[in-house]
Amino acid sequence: RLPPGHLPGGKIAHHRTHYLTTNVATVRDYVPGDSYNRIHWRSTARTGRLMVKEFELDPTSDVWILLDLDATWHVSQPWEEPDLTDIPSILQSQFLRKEPSLVPSTIEYATAAAASIAQRYLAERRAVGLIAYTPRREVLHLDRGHRQFTKLLEMLAVVEPTSTISFDRLLLAERPYLTRTSTVVVITPSADASWVDVLRDYRHGGIGMTTVLVAASTFGPIQSYRPVLAELWASQIPTYVVRRGARISTALSHIALPND
């Protein structure tokens, strides 16, 4: 059984949206371009200047998992399945009961994270979907329940990091299909910060988001993930970092700091 992720599913996303939702977060000064139907008249009367309402994202929005399969950034290491022949049979069952070690590859960790996150949101009765480019666009459409989880596992079992489409291009291509009722979980090993710019555009469109950054440089000789993490932190985009050897449940239990 996959360990459930600790991503904040079903909770209000405490960052602001430029679109109206049902959850008023706070008020701020009016700036040119704000819609007049967002003016908070009581605060305006109290302060003597125009004040507008800020809103939090809908905590019951649909969840789309966007999985990066760009071959440029995926790394793997040699691995052999543990040989249990020399372990006494009385100890083999104890060994097998432990949380299994993942194959040391970014795709293995990325798909495990996707499964764990989906399991968490589906348990909260959220509708979950999955999008990946192989490079063909592969979509598991939004649905709920255990059957959806089974379909998602089947899809994750066969995807390979063979795409030539960069993650920023994937995000740009999917943007028209997402609405302010969407929450996006992006999972990527990419150290190219251009995709962070696209996420900023997502946020301006009122789309909730969380990033799972698979630290590819902990799997092999490739560009460090830290500059991208710094960009995400500066953009106030909640980010979880998954490193080689980490338990998925542990990695998804706390938001990364810029020096992690």
- The conformation of residue 76, written as its DSSP 8-state character, comes to B
Judged by average pLDDT, the poorest of 58-67, 73-82, 133-142, 231-240 is 73-82
In this structure, whether the domain defined by 62-75+86-251 belongs to CATH 3.40.50.410 is answered with yes
Average pLDDT over residues 177-181: 89
**Which has more pLDDT, 94 or 182?**
182
CA distances from 126 to 8, 15, 202 (A): 12, 20, 20
For 109, the token pair is 């960790």
Q: Domain limits of the chain? A: 22-56, 62-75+86-251
The yes-or-no verdict on residue 77 having pLDDT over 90 is no
Judged by average pLDDT, the poorest of 19-23, 73-77, 137-141 is 19-23
**Which has more pLDDT, 38 or 223?**
223
Contact partners, residue 170, CB within 8 Å, separation at least 6: 66, 68, 70, 131, 133
The yes-or-no verdict on residue 93 having pLDDT over 60 is no
- What was the pLDDT predicted at 24? 46
**Cis omega (within 30 of 0) for bond into 3:** no
Judged by average pLDDT, the poorest of 37-46, 73-82, 118-127, 203-212 is 73-82
- What was the pLDDT predicted at 6? 46
Residue type, 66: L
**Which has more pLDDT, 60 or 251?**
251
Query: Rounded to two decimals, what is the model's pTM?
Result: 0.73
Nearest partner of 226 among 216, 235, 236, judged by Cα: 216
* d(C-alpha 210, C-alpha 197), whole Å: 14
Average pLDDT over residues 228-255: 93
Residue type, 15: H
The yes-or-no verdict on residue 243 having pLDDT over 50 is yes
**Which has more pLDDT, 112 or 101?**
112
Query: Tokens 């071959």 sit at which residue?
Result: 71
Pick the most confident of 26-30, 80-84, 168-172: 168-172
Pick the most confident of 74-88, 91-105, 232-246: 232-246
Average pLDDT over residues 233-242: 93
